[in-house]
């Protein structure tokens, strides 16, 4: 799954029977009418499973049939669950949420036993047979009704696009239970047979190919799908609607690829249709194992919440904005993003689908690997994109997530249901990918690939654990690296590595190494940790050239011998930038790297150095001067690639919130002087010769100079362009609108008027971004009122609550939420950690003020604790707020001193 952040899934099924289901009523608890005597009333004192179901009954297959009508919210279902009972059973537990069971019976060898089904808690079904079930194979046959959701994209849900209704599904992590009674746990991996009865005029798609299509009485069509290969419930998926289907050709091995879109959107699927089969081929080549399934459909979902795409085998789902692009305005960013997300989801077909983790504490095996593999395949897809440089973004994101004491472990124990949703975070995706990247570099790419292939072959169509994966890599590498893996998977945080040259007469130069957990000020003291077992590679100067040396640092301190006779003039702590650690540098070390080593460093190393120096500006113990970090900005800009420019333009944005009001105009002048020339050179208008670097660098530089720097010429250009903004290239359209809406009340008013009737989802997204980015409090407050408008989809407009541009505007948003909390909560999705909890808690804790800290912490704890995933979100966001307050106290005086000494050219003066 690719989440917004990360990056969830879809689907449901119901049993194959011969007669069509009756029109499903609105679900309500129904007491079955038995044909034999039922047991006495349920003993409510029976112990209810708290996390995992007892294995009294273990499914071996499912056959499910659903009657889905996109015009109705109610659906009907029948499911036959065949499984084994090892010991005589009086109670069987299944998952089921919001399902009303209308009939239930256990069958075996022609005999049947009536079942009493009672909902227990939020998502459990207690099943009591009229008489105990003897050991052996049984089939539980259940009929039931359920309800489609419209706000959440969890379970089976309905969405409307272009005035037409569709039904899709999302089953990961624990949403399959909303579609059918089942064992909703990943280690129950068995074949599924799905049948969908739908109104004529609709098409049904699912994981497997259609085996049979039959016309039914009453204007319905039955789609019977082939039996799937073994799958866990969270990977079962389907879609129903009047889809357009675009042929995507076949892979080299003959697997058919289709793009399934909303009605009338076939033309916008052209890029996906052109590229998807090739991505499958690249992944097959790397894995050395054929694509495991019989077909590959890529299904568009109009809007998703908490995920962008989902790896359902044979039926990958994508948010519309990630896959459907105007072919006449296709940007490089859209191309790169689709390939990256598709590569991530297709990698899951092997890692996650073909071999599945046994339990959710190993979800990193799915998501970390797919993130790592997605970057690798994207780099191979188009080498001119230099995607390997972007791998550093993954590591930086992971290190930032690891920098709070309350950070999750990669293999965090799952103790309560909320822990499952919380697991889909930056630690799982980004740190998981970074750890894989680091150990691939340590053992060698070919060795690592052999280990992965052996792991997959050893567990094909089954389940596995981190220990199984580590053992496979260790066997391929012929060394026990499992403890090193475990040191990064089983404890939170990340090390900061200090390197010190020791050059003594009569001895070869060496590097003295030390490590400790990186925790910025503001956090509580971290718990004691064992040292990480970390591959450390350094680059150093040797006779005027570059050399490298590596070691496995397994203790708090260690040494690394260098193969040189003279003391190196410079030393860089993370050769190739692939180690999951921060480098700690003294002023002298950082200065030498800037002045002497820069031309010897790889692009990833320059970016990594810039990140490490920028982080050290806020650390009292290892403080580096702000001016040292800023002196690297011109060097990053001179590199000219989009990655370096992105880093350089982000640097001042980290500190803009700490600029005093009386110095803000001078800061804006420095921004214009530093970034204005590059912005003016590229301009707003794209050129036919633009590559991906030019396109994305244009946006970043113009954003700094025109929006943050308020360059008057650039602001006027943007305001003029906004008069016909729908004709603009996708790459610059949003930025033009943001600048113009901020500068012109008339532009803002037009957007306020038109956004409610704009038919294009991507254009609406740009409009909401512009409306929420203004610096005028009254206009921002007016924009927030749209969040309460029934004509506006809250899921599209909610970004306005988190893109406030100044602290006074954050306070406007906070007051708005306090005043309308109940109304907003009623309109918001709640089902994922990126839903209500993630949005609202961040808003209140982003104040970065010691004066309001306690009130913010109390408010989020009192008002949002009941939201899904809120406990961990609140804990982590409060700690991040405390770190920000500490950073403010350290950095504000230095910023004031720096700006006081800045000399601006005449053209950049306020």
Mean pLDDT, residues 142-164 taken together: 94
CATH number of the domain within which 447 lies: 1.10.390.10
Q: Which of 37-46, 120-129, 343-352, 668-677 has the lowest mean pLDDT?
A: 37-46
Same structural domain, 230 and 143: yes
What local confidence, expressed as pLDDT, does residue 32 receive?
37
What local confidence, expressed as pLDDT, does residue 785 receive?
96
Query: pLDDT at residue 38 above 90?
Result: no
pLDDT band of residue 21 (cuts 50, 70, 90) is very low
Residue where a domain stops, chosen among 579, 605, 624:
624
Angle at 433 between CA 428 and CA 439, to 5 degrees: 125
Structure token pair of residue 367: 């998501």
Same structural domain, 320 and 217: no
Mean pLDDT, residues 531-557 taken together: 96
Residues 6 or more apart whose CB falls under 8 angstroms from that of 243 comprise: 166, 203, 205, 260, 261, 262, 263
pLDDT band of residue 6 (cuts 50, 70, 90) is very low
Q: Which residues of 505-544 are buried (b: 16+ CB within 10 A; e: fewer)?
A: eeeebbbebbbbbbbbebbeebeeeebbbbbbbbbbbbee
Of 615, 609, 604, 553, residue with least CA distance to 578: 604
Same structural domain, 35 and 180: yes
Same structural domain, 107 and 24: yes
Of 62, 59, 66, residue with least CA distance to 14: 66
Strands (E), 11-72: 57-67
In a domain, 105, yes or no: yes
Same structural domain, 107 and 196: yes
Q: What percent of the chain has pLDDT over 90?
A: 84
Query: pLDDT at residue 296 above 70?
Result: yes
For residue range 710-726, list pLDDT tens digits in order.
999 999 999 999 999 99
Number of structural domains found in the chain: 4
Mean pLDDT, residues 476-501 taken together: 94
Q: Which of 156-160, 174-178, 194-198, 654-658 has the lowest mean pLDDT?
A: 654-658
Residue where a domain stops, chosen among 242, 270, 301:
242
Give the residue numbers spanning the domain of 341.
Answer: 244-353
Other beta carbons within 10 Å of 48: 11
Residue where a domain stops, chosen among 284, 318, 353:
353
Instruction: Name the average pLDDT for the chain.
Output: 91
What local confidence, expressed as pLDDT, does residue 152 receive?
87
- pTM for the structure as a whole: 0.91
Same structural domain, 501 and 482: no
Query: pLDDT at residue 753 above 50?
Result: yes
Helix, strand, coil shares of the chain, percent, nearest 5, are 45, 20, 35
Same structural domain, 269 and 145: no
Query: pLDDT at residue 22 above 70?
Result: no
In a domain, 437, yes or no: yes
For residue range 796-826, list pLDDT tens digits in order.
999 999 888 899 999 999 999 999 999 999 9
Same structural domain, 96 and 193: yes
Same structural domain, 481 and 579: no
CATH number of the domain within which 62 lies: 2.60.40.1730
Query: pLDDT at residue 26 above 80?
Result: no
pLDDT band of residue 651 (cuts 50, 70, 90) is confident
Q: Please, is 151 exposed, middle or buried when counting C-beta atoms within 10 Å of its C-beta (0-12, 13-18, 19+)?
A: middle
pLDDT band of residue 151 (cuts 50, 70, 90) is confident
Structure token pair of residue 169: 């599904």
Same structural domain, 377 and 485: yes
Structure token pair of residue 298: 């890529």
Question: Can you state the angle between helices 363-381 and 432-443, rounded to 10 degrees?
Answer: 70
Radius of gyration of the CA atoms of the chain, in A = 29
What local confidence, expressed as pLDDT, does residue 2 receive?
60
Mean pLDDT, residues 103-112 taken together: 94
In a domain, 290, yes or no: yes
Q: What does the alpha-carbon distance between residue 173 and residue 251 come to, in Å, rounded to a whole number?
A: 30
What local confidence, expressed as pLDDT, does residue 908 receive?
63
Same structural domain, 410 and 485: yes
Mean pLDDT, residues 523-549 taken together: 94
Same structural domain, 234 and 309: no
CATH number of the domain within which 570 lies: 2.60.40.1910
């Amino acid at each position: 799954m690719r989440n917004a952040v990360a990056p969830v899934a879809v689907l449901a099924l119901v049993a194959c029977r011969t007669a069509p289901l009756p029109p499903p009523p609105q679900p309500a608890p129904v007491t079955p009418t038995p044909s034999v005597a039922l047991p006495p009333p349920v003993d409510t004192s029976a112990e209810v499973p708290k996390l995992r179901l007892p294995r009294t009954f273990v499914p071996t297959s499912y056959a499910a049939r659903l009657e889905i009508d996109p015009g109705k919210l109610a659906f009907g279902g029948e499911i036959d669950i065949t499984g084994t009972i090892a010991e005589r059973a009086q109670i069987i537990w299944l998952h089921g949420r919001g399902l009303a069971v209308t009939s239930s019976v256990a069958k075996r060898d022609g005999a049947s036993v009536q079942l009493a089904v009672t909902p227990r808690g939020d998502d459990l079904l207690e099943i009591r047979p009229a008489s105990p079930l003897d050991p052996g194979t049984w089939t539980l046959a259940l009929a039931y009704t359920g309800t489609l959701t419209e706000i959440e994209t969890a379970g089976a849900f309905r969405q409307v696009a272009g005035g037409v209704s569709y039904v899709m599904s999302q089953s990961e992590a624990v949403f399959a239970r909303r579609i059918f009674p089942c064992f909703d746990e990943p280690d129950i991996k068995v074949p599924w047979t799905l049948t969908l009865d739908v109104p004529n005029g609709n098409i049904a798609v699912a994981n497997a190919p259609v085996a049979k299509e039959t016309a039914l009485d009453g204007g319905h069509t039955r789609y019977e799908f082939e039996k799937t290969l073994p799958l866990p419930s969270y990977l079962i998926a389907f879609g129903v609607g009047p889809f357009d289907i675009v042929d995507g050709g076949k892979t080299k091995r003959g697997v058919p690829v289709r793009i399934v879109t909303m009605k009338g959107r076939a033309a916008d699927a052209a890029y996906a249709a052109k590229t998807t089969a090739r991505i499958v081929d690249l992944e097959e080549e790397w894995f050395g194992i054929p694509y495991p399934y019989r077909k590959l459909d890529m299904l568009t979902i109009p809007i998703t919440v908490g995920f962008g795409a989902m790896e359902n085998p044979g039926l990958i789902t994508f948010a519309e904005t990630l896959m459907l692009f105007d072919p006449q305005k296709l940007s490089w960013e859209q191309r790169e993003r689709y390939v990256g997300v598709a590569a991530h989801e297709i990698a899951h077909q092997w890692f996650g689908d073909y071999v599945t983790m046994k339990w959710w504490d190993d979800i990193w095996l799915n998501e970390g690997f797919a993130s790592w593999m997605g970057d690798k395949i994207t780099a191979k897809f188009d080498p001119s994109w230099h995607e390997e440089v972007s791998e550093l973004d993954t590591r930086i994101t992971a290190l930032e997530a690891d920098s709070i004491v309350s950070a999750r472990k990669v293999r965090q124990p799952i103790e309560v249901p909320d822990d499952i949703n919380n697991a889909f975070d930056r630690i799982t995706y980004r740190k998981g990918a970074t750890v894989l990247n680091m150990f691939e570099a340590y053992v060698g790419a070919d060795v690592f690939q052999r280990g992965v292939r052996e792991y997959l072959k050893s567990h094909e169509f089954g389940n596995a654990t981190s220990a199984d994966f580590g053992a496979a890599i260790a066997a391929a590498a012929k060394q026990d690296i499992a403890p090193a893996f475990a040191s990064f998977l089983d404890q939170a945080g990340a090390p900061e590595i200090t390197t010190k040259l020791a050059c003594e007469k009569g001895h070869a130069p060496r590097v003295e190494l030390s490590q400790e957990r990186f925790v910025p000020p503001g956090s509580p003291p971290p718990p004691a940790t064992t040292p990480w077992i970390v591959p450390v590679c350094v680059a150093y100067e040797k006779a005027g050239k570059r050399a490298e040396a590596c070691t496995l640092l397994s203790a708090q301190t260690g040494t690394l011998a260098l193969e040189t006779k003279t003391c190196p003039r410079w030393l860089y702590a993370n050769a190739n930038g692939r180690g999951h650690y921060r480098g700690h540098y003294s002023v002298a070390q950082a200065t030498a790297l800037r002045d002497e080593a820069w031309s010897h460093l790889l692009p990833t190393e320059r970016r990594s150095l810039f990140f490490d120096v920028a982080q050290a500006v806020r650390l009292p113990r290892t403080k580096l001067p702000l001016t040292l970090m800023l002196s690297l900005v011109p060097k990053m800009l001179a590199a000219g690639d989009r990655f370096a420019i992105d880093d350089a333009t982000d640097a001042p944005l980290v500190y803009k919130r700490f600029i005093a009001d009386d110095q803000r105009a001078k800061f804006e002048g420095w921004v214009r002087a530093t970034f204005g020339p590059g912005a003016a050179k590229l301009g707003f208008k794209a050129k036919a010769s633009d590559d991906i670097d030019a396109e994305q660098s244009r946006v970043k530089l113009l954003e700094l100079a025109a929006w943050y720097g308020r360059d008057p010429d650039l602001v006027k250009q943007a305001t003029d362009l906004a008069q016909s903004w729908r004709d603009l290239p996708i790459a610059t359209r949003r930025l033009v609108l943001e600048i113009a809406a901020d500068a012109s009340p008339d532009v803002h008013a037009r957007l306020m008027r038109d956004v409610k009737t704009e038919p294009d989802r991507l254009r609406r997204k740009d409009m909401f971004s512009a409306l929420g980015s203004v610096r005028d409090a009254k206009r921002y407050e007016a924009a927030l009122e749209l969040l309460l408008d029934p004509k506006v989809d809250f899921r599209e407009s909610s970004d306005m609550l988190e893109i406030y541009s100044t602290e006074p505007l954050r306070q406007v948003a906070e007051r708005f939420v306090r005043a309308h909390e109940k109304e907003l909560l009623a309109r918001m999705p709640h089902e994922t950690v990126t839903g209500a909890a993630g949005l609202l808690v961040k808003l209140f804790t982003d104040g970065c003020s010691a004066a309001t800290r306690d009130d913010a912490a109390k408010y989020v704890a009192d008002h949002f604790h009941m939201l899904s995933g809120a406990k961990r979100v609140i804990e982590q966001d409060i700690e991040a707020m405390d770190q920000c307050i500490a950073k403010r106290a350290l950095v504000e005086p230095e910023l004031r001193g720096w700006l006081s000494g800045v000399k601006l050219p005449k053209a950049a003066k306020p």
